[in-house]
Amino acid sequence: MVRWYGSIRQHALGARRSGHRRVSFNRSSSASWRHRGGLATDALEYLRIDDPIGAVPVHLVCGTWGTLSLGLFATGEFGLPTPMGADTSAVVKGLFYGGGTTQLAMQALGSFSVVAATLV
């Protein structure tokens, strides 16, 4: 069980005004918390970067993870969608399903390109 005192969430909720009691958050399910970008939120709070709506953990961290997970976990079952149905002549397999590192490298390059274009 992890307790937070004075986090960004509390400021956004208005729970940290003068005279108010401290509010603690209990993260009992670590797997579901990681899916929400909990580690990125912790890092932002540690660095004292204000992100009250959580855009960085949701869009940057979870979006990048979603993109990279295709390069890791693609099973090769699905092909490119076409008007006539799925084209299974060129399927995508991830690293854990015998596809090698090529797809993972392309997914990483795509994520890096989007982050670079966003920051510039």
Tens-place pLDDT, residues 23-77: 444 444 445 445 556 788 888 888 898 888 888 888 888 899 999 999 999 998 8
Summarize pLDDT for 95-108 with one digit per residue, the tens. 999 989 999 999 99
Q: What is the pLDDT of residues 77-91, one digit of tens each?
A: 887 788 988 888 888
- Three-class DSSP category at 39: helix
- Considering Cα of 33, then 36, then 40, then 45, what sign does the dihedral take? negative
pTM: 0.61
Phi, psi (rounded to 5 degrees) for 53: -100, -5
Q: What span, in angstroms and rounded, lies between the C-alpha atoms of 72 and 65?
A: 10
Judge residue 61's burial from the number of C-beta atoms within 10 Å of its C-beta, 0-12 exposed, 13-18 middle, 19 or more buried.
buried
Query: ∠ CA(110), CA(93), CA(78), 5° rounding?
Result: 95
Report the pLDDT value the prediction gives residue 50, as an integer from 0 to 100.
86
Q: What is the pLDDT of residue 7?
A: 52
Q: Which pLDDT does position 120 carry in this prediction?
A: 87
pLDDT at 1 over 70: no
DSSP state of 96: G
Number of Cβ within a 10 Å radius of residue 1: 7
d(C-alpha 94, C-alpha 66), whole Å: 13
